[in-house]
Structure 1
Amino acid sequence: MITNNLKIAWRNLGRRKGFSILNIAGLALGLASALLILLWVKHERSVDNFHAKGDRLYVAMNRGILNNELHCWPTTPKPLGPTLVANYPEVAQATRYARTGFLFTVNETQANAGGAFVDSTFLSMFDFPLVAGNPEMALSRANDIVITEALAMRLFGKTDVLGQQVRIDSTDYATVSGVLKNLPTNTRFKFDYLLPWTYMERIGWSDDLWGNNSVTTYVELTPQTQLAKANQNIQNVSIKNGDTKNEIFLHSFPDWWLHAEFENGHLAGGRIEMVQLFTAIAVFILLIACINFMNLSTARSEKRAKEVGVRKVVGARRHALIGQFLTESILLASLAGALSIAMVLVSLPAFGELVGTQLAIDFSSAPLWTGILGVILFTGILAGSYPAFFLSGFKPVKVLKGTFKGFNKAVNPRKALVVLQFTIAIILMVATFIIRQQIQHAQDRQNGYDKNNLIYVFLSGDIAKNFPLIKHALLNDNVATSITRSLSPVTSIWSNGMIDWDGKTPDNSQTFDRLHVDEGAVTTLGMELVRGRDLDLTKFPTDSNAALITESTQRAMGLDDPIGKTIRDHGQDWHIVGVVKDVIMGSPFEQIRPIVMYGASSWFSVMHIKFNPGLPTQAALDKTRQILKEYNPNEPFNYSFIDQEYAAKFRDTQQLGNIAGLFTFLTIFISCLGLFGLAAYMAENRTKEIGVRKVLGASVLSLVNLLNKEFLALVGIACLVAFPIAYWAMDSWLNKFTYHTDIYWWVFAAIGLGVLLIALLTVSSQAIKAALTNPTRSLRDE
């Protein structure tokens, strides 16, 4: 019986090739789209969930007042980790993590790599396995270094390198004490090497300042410790040990990737919202594809009513008819499922680039196959249920006499499904448009500095020692118009904390971001002075202890005239010489943070170079490379453009917009496939009616309008349903950003007209074809 049903089903598919291809392609595209999204969702949910001690690992967070609001952030003072281990028995161990970058040299081979300073406990807390070395001892000495297999291959051309030496920045040597297996893609850690914290102390980069929040601290609690109790005990550790009013609390490390946004001091979401949004999009796309499949299958099945009547007359039993229709529907769905897997395999590399991570299908995954087979069976059975249980149950005499009617009511399930799928498509279109508006709105925001023709170079090797000579050479050769040093690139903040100033009230617990800068900072970075002047050590030698502040800082300090006022930070006095317009060094979507810029007696890590705008960029880069090669011969010239660094701040939101745009297009395309099929079916159903109308003098335009108006009405209803939902959803999303665009009425008008036009073009192709058919053919009796 099953074999016979499959043969008949295959023949029916071959007889209606166009319908079969349309139905299979629509469902396959929906299945493939949903599978791609769910592969990404699975990856996101797996980030850092593979650590054996995951249920006891936490990231230490700061909680304090910023701009008169309670904020939380993950940077902490360097002494926090050792203090927690020494004084709080519920803390089993802790490690600090401070990102860094060095040039490594082995013989003639050089490689720039990014890594981190960590405590020796790092490898016992986190599961990053070593292919060589002892994780308990690998970071126990100051001159140890643990490198990944990838970095070992770059430096040595092999991975069996235990005990080998590497030169660090032409100034020091380290011994390879461990080789790490390359990090998996599903971890937030990104490093090529690990250096012990004792090495950081040896080179003078560490400090014991409780007011300097500049590193990440990870904590492992003992098995019996409750998180709430630990947070209660440690919350005042910074207050007790330093001149700060910030509280410390622990946040689950495995949850940190998806749940990292805080509002008014409490957890308020994070990347999980993006994951949930795209899970919903996957469900919606799959739902739309299934709706199309069911609509086309049930519509086409009505053409087979006479076949069912004849088969019943010659003795076919109802259960045989039910089996036949279900077999055909499941066969169609199975072919679509197989095609969808092929689509995923072909598109997976490109999709991985779009989402910024490497994805793969685990064909050994039971949940994957269960899900695919479940969707195929569910869709096939649901789509085949109408012909199987409805058509097989009517009396054959009705069909053979021509009195059988299908769905001809003004409101029927098929029309409701069309409205539902276009409602979902319209919501996605509105969401995509507003996401792109929000990105553009933030990109147009004044960031407080000039990104054009501005690069930065890390002060590695001999650059710091020879900085005056390098600066003179670049200016003298007209390669640059100005140069300055700073603690961090102008696009990043590496330190924040509390400060004192003249007139500060005792209850003020405001936290400020810090940026250490050299003379000429305002000119080089293109900041705009509001009052006062730039730092200038030639005219004002005391500017080594001078400071610049932003307008937000002036407001936070409550100073009407800050020029000449004194700031005290870490036991040092700084006098304010200038106020600049606010600078965006954090997220361009959030409230601007108050920033204090300290003068030349502070420490620096990078050099900003403002290129001469009259010189081609490549020529300026080539000349800069020559000069740095002269004064820093042992290292290659590595640089970053500030405009590219700033553009990277939009990467996650742009990724959201790109994915939403792609799947919105696919949703519209799948919906139009279904609309095209339904229009073809309705045009075929009304062939004789159209022929009669043409004989009676109806014009082609009136006939096209006759067929179009029903579908346009359905799309219009979908607009009315979708617009309020879309407005509510996007208004809620935008309110998560301090700095956001407004939602304008013309967005909905444009999208509504666009959807109606798309529907009109889709349906009209079939309507025009039917209207132009010769009535003698359509009225000819069978």
Structure 2
Amino acid sequence: MFRLNFKITLRNLWKNKGYTLINVGGLAIGLASCMVLLLYVAYEWSYDKQSKNYADTYVVYQHQVTSSGMMSWAWTPGVLAPELSGTIPGAVMASHSSYPQPQLLSFHESYFKKAAVYGDPQFLKIMDYKFLKGNPARALREVNSVILTETLAKNLFGNEDPINKIVKLNNKEDLKVDAVIADIPKNSSIEFDYLLPWSLWERQQPFVKESGWGNNFCLTLVQLQKGENFSKADELLSHVLANHQQGATGHYSLHTLSKWHLYSEFQNGRSVGGKIDQVRIFFMLAFCILLIACVNFMNLSTARSEKRAKEVGVRKAIGSSRKSLISQFMLESVLLSVLGMVVAFVLIEISLPYFNGVLHTELVIHYSDWKFWGVFAGLTIVTGCIAGSYPAFYLSSFEPLQVLKGVKTTGSTSLSVRQVLVVFQFVFAACLIICTAVIYQQLNFIKNKSIGYNKNNLVEIPIQGSMHNEQKLILLKDQLLKSGALSDVTFFSRSISEGGNNTFDVNWQGKNPKENVLFNHRSAGYDFAKTMGSGIINGREFSPKYTDTANVIINEAAVKIMGLKNPVGTVIKFWNSPVTIIGVMKDFVMENPYSQTAPLILYHKMNEVEVVVARLNAGTNISSSMDKIKEVTERLNPGFPVDTKFVDDNFEQKFQNEKLLGTVANWFGGFAIFISCLGLLGLALYMAEQRKKEISIRKVLGASNMNIVTLLNKDFIKLVIIADLIAFPIAYLIINHWLSTYSFRVSISVLPFAIALGLSLIIAILTVSVQSVKVAKANPVDALKYE
């Protein structure tokens, strides 16, 4: 029986090639979209799960009570890790490490500025990196040693054995290569190109060894014993800060390493989500698009009911059971699903490089992974069964006597089911159109919101090597200005768009002693506000005419927090030292453009600056200006490649999540709309088939082609309007929830809903009109000659 049904199926598909191509195309797009999104979801879900003991590894978070609520971050003191082994009985080991920072590593004439991490031997054991060369037991134990990743080792040494070779760090420190480890996967929250010993960092930066419990500058990881009670360990950890810092208002907690990437947002000291919200959206989007493809298949299958009715009647008349017919129709749909999946594979392989670029991932199809084949087979069969379920049960229900006599086989019920399916498709499509429009509105709203400075033509040059010298920096500034490439030059202790460097240790007269306020603090050079294109609202900038070592500049947010009416000249305490406010600077965005600007203190210490901030001369060519910057910098600081970055580019990186969401919604929303159009075309085909005699009679009685087209389009326009009316409240709830996470948000206007309504109507009218015009132009004699 199976063999017979299979032959009949192949003949039917071959006989109706156009129908087969449309169905296979719709299912292929739906399956390809679903698979790409599921690959992305699986990739995000696999973050930080490379180590053997990832389930028992935790990141230590610090939670501090401030005037604006509780703040949480994974920055901790260096003294915490050694303390934890004795404090938490269930802790196997604890490590401290720096966050990745670019540093220059060289061997002979090969120079590479790559991300480096300082860590202790416990860090290596917890993260369980794969050693390709070297002895893991000796790694990071010698001060002047280094561990390279495989790619960096090949770039430096080619095919030579790198073990025991000497490389230079920042053209100063000689380091011996102790080991080579496999490249860090992209789906790891801690990415670096080489590892340096913690003891080397202590020698380079004395504050690392001298810092106490109030200075947060490193990442602390803890590995618990298998089966250890997490709640008990977390409870013990929460008291550590209070035990070592008198009057501490904060506490520590454990956050599972494997959840760090997806659950990075905290409220009131508790994890509330993060990237997981986006992953859930993509997961639901994957199956919604696949469901739309299945609905499209149902519509197209039932649209051919008139042509299949006689086949069903004849087969039933010669003895076929309904069960046999259902089996054949289900086999047809599963075979179409298999063909769709074959085409989907081709589409996936073609599109993956593009989506990897858009999503910033490394999505690949693991053909040797049984889990992949299990999902593949499951999706194919389930899609075939869902898509073929309604047509199989509907077509097999025809009565042979009725269909062979030519009696109408369909009633109002079957039509209403198809209408419901089309409405469902357009509800989903309209929701995607609205959500995409609001995402781009929000993105443009934040981008166009004043950031407090002019980022155009503003560049940053990292300070390296011998340039960590005030006299050399003054000379560099003078040479850069004389070159004509730059109009203004200043210095800053961090990149303008980076966070970090904050403190609670700021006090002023009238401050509530129980209130903690977190201040950003940076060291800035002369002409900072002028170079930034910002403004000094009150007072003055740092100037070589004055001695500003005990003076500070604050921003508007700091003035508001302190409640100062006449801030200039006010003496406050910063790190227990009295300092005088000499100026108030306009608020500008440094970290999150979606949040309120944090209070900021600027001080003038040239030994702490790390970045040259400069504005390109508007009257010169950009490429020639960049060449001059490179020439001057390399002349004064030979051996260090110049890595000039545009502030505008760095600022754009802050919108990656929103851009990603908008791009994905655009692409897959487009796929959903295209598949929905196929479904609408299926219903149009069905309606035209059912009403061909009515239309022919109308034409004989004098109806014009336009009358016929309008008649057929009218019913579909009603369906689309109903779909939009259902979609509007659903979309409003979704976008309102999404926007609620932003401090600065666009108001929900009528425009996205109007766009969705207009687009869906235009798409529907164009799709249906293709068939309507064909029917209207048909010769009425062809439909009436058998009457």
Specify which of 406, 416, 422 is matched with residue 418 of structure 1.
Answer: 422
SS in 2 for 1:33: helix
Residues 106 and 379 of structure 1, relative CA distance in 2, 3 Å threshold: closer
Aligned residue identity for 1:211: G
* Aligned position for 2:24: 24
Residues 51 and 613 of structure 1, relative CA distance in 2, 3 Å threshold: same
Question: How big is the shift at 1:364?
Answer: 3.1
Q: 1:210-229 to 2 correspondence within 5 Å?
A: 210-223=213-226, 225-229=228-232
Distance 1:127 1:446 in 2: 45
Residues 562 and 702 of structure 1, relative CA distance in 2, 3 Å threshold: same
1:105-162 Cα distance to aligned partner (Å, 9 max, x none): 2111111111111122111010211111222321011111111010011111136211
Question: How big is the shift at 1:489?
Answer: 0.9
Distance 1:332 1:236 in 2: 62
Q: CA RMSD in A?
A: 2.0
* Aligned position for 1:160: 161
Contact persistence 1:81–1:96 (CA under 8 A) = no
Question: How big is the shift at 1:239?
Answer: 4.4
* Aligned position for 2:240: 237
- Tell whether 2:296 aligns with 1:296: no
Contact persistence 1:544–1:601 (CA under 8 A) = no
Contact persistence 2:100–2:190 (CA under 8 A) = no
* Aligned position for 2:185: 184
Question: How big is the shift at 1:62?
Answer: 1.8
Aligned residue identity for 2:275: R
Contact persistence 2:67–2:515 (CA under 8 A) = no
* Aligned position for 1:94: 95
Question: How big is the shift at 1:319?
Answer: 4.1
Greater CA deviation, 280-289 or 456-465? 456-465
Question: How big is the shift at 1:602?
Answer: 5.7
SS in 1 for 2:220: strand
* Aligned position for 1:399: 403
Greater CA deviation, 724-733 or 14-23? 14-23
Contact persistence 2:118–2:197 (CA under 8 A) = yes
Distance 2:541 2:661 in 1: 40
* Aligned position for 1:736: 741
* Aligned position for 1:36: 36
Question: How big is the shift at 1:611?
Answer: 1.9
* Aligned position for 2:507: 501
SS in 2 for 1:145: strand
Specify which of 427, 438, 443 is matched with residue 439 of structure 1.
Answer: 443
Distance 1:307 1:89 in 2: 76
SS in 2 for 1:636: coil
Greater CA deviation, 472-481 or 12-21? 472-481
Contact persistence 2:418–2:683 (CA under 8 A) = no
- Tell whether 2:778 aligns with 1:768: no
Aligned residue identity for 1:57: T
1:696-737 Cα distance to aligned partner (Å, 9 max, x none): 000111100111111111111111111001001110110011
Distance 1:641 1:24 in 2: 47
- Tell whether 2:725 aligns with 1:720: yes
Residues 498 and 320 of structure 1, relative CA distance in 2, 3 Å threshold: closer
Question: How big is the shift at 1:28?
Answer: 1.0
SS in 2 for 1:364: coil
* Aligned position for 1:645: 650
SS in 1 for 2:467: coil
Residues 571 and 154 of structure 1, relative CA distance in 2, 3 Å threshold: farther
Contact persistence 1:519–1:600 (CA under 8 A) = no
Distance 1:221 1:3 in 2: 59
* Aligned position for 2:536: 529
SS in 2 for 1:112: strand
Contact persistence 1:159–1:179 (CA under 8 A) = no
Q: 1:116-127 to 2 correspondence within 5 Å?
A: 116-127=117-128
Residues 226 and 602 of structure 1, relative CA distance in 2, 3 Å threshold: farther
Contact persistence 1:629–1:637 (CA under 8 A) = yes
TM-score for both structures, normalised by structure 1: 0.96
Q: 1:343-354 to 2 correspondence within 5 Å?
A: 343-354=347-358
SS in 1 for 2:335: helix
Aligned residue identity for 2:542: L
Greater CA deviation, 725-734 or 520-529? 520-529
Distance 1:212 1:447 in 2: 29
Question: How big is the shift at 1:752?
Answer: 0.8
Distance 1:406 1:81 in 2: 74
Question: How big is the shift at 1:568?
Answer: 3.0
* Aligned position for 1:519: 526
Aligned residue identity for 1:194: L
* Aligned position for 2:145: 144
Q: 1:128-527 to 2 correspondence within 5 Å?
A: 128-158=129-159, 160-204=161-205, 206-207=207-208, 208-223=211-226, 225-242=228-245, 245-386=249-390, 388-409=392-413, 412-465=416-469, 466-503=472-509, 504-527=511-534
Distance 2:323 2:744 in 1: 63
SS in 1 for 2:100: strand
Contact persistence 1:117–1:195 (CA under 8 A) = yes
Distance 1:358 1:408 in 2: 50
Give identity over the alignment, percent: 37
SS in 1 for 2:52: coil
Report how many aligned residue pairs link the two structures. Answer: 780
Q: Which runs of 5+ in 2 are unaligned?
A: none
Distance 1:273 1:302 in 2: 46
Distance 1:421 1:387 in 2: 17
Aligned residue identity for 2:364: A
Distance 1:511 1:237 in 2: 21
Contact persistence 2:145–2:197 (CA under 8 A) = yes
1:614-668 Cα distance to aligned partner (Å, 9 max, x none): 2221111111111112111112221111111011111122111111111111110
Aligned residue identity for 2:608: W
1:507-561 Cα distance to aligned partner (Å, 9 max, x none): 121111221212221112222212111111x2112x1232111111122222222
SS in 2 for 1:462: helix
TM-score for both structures, normalised by structure 2: 0.95
Residues 323 and 228 of structure 1, relative CA distance in 2, 3 Å threshold: closer
Aligned residue identity for 1:172: E
* Aligned position for 1:76: 76
Q: Which runs of 5+ in 1 are unaligned?
A: none
Question: How big is the shift at 1:288?
Answer: 0.4
Aligned residue identity for 1:173: D
Distance 2:206 2:698 in 1: 88
* Aligned position for 2:700: 695
Contact persistence 1:499–1:567 (CA under 8 A) = no
Residues 284 and 159 of structure 1, relative CA distance in 2, 3 Å threshold: farther
Distance 2:450 2:491 in 1: 23
Aligned residue identity for 1:235: S
* Aligned position for 1:756: 761
- Tell whether 2:712 aligns with 1:707: yes
SS in 2 for 1:485: strand
- Tell whether 2:113 aligns with 1:109: no
Residues 366 and 120 of structure 1, relative CA distance in 2, 3 Å threshold: closer
1:550-595 Cα distance to aligned partner (Å, 9 max, x none): 1111222222222222343334433211111212111111222222
- Tell whether 2:594 aligns with 1:593: no
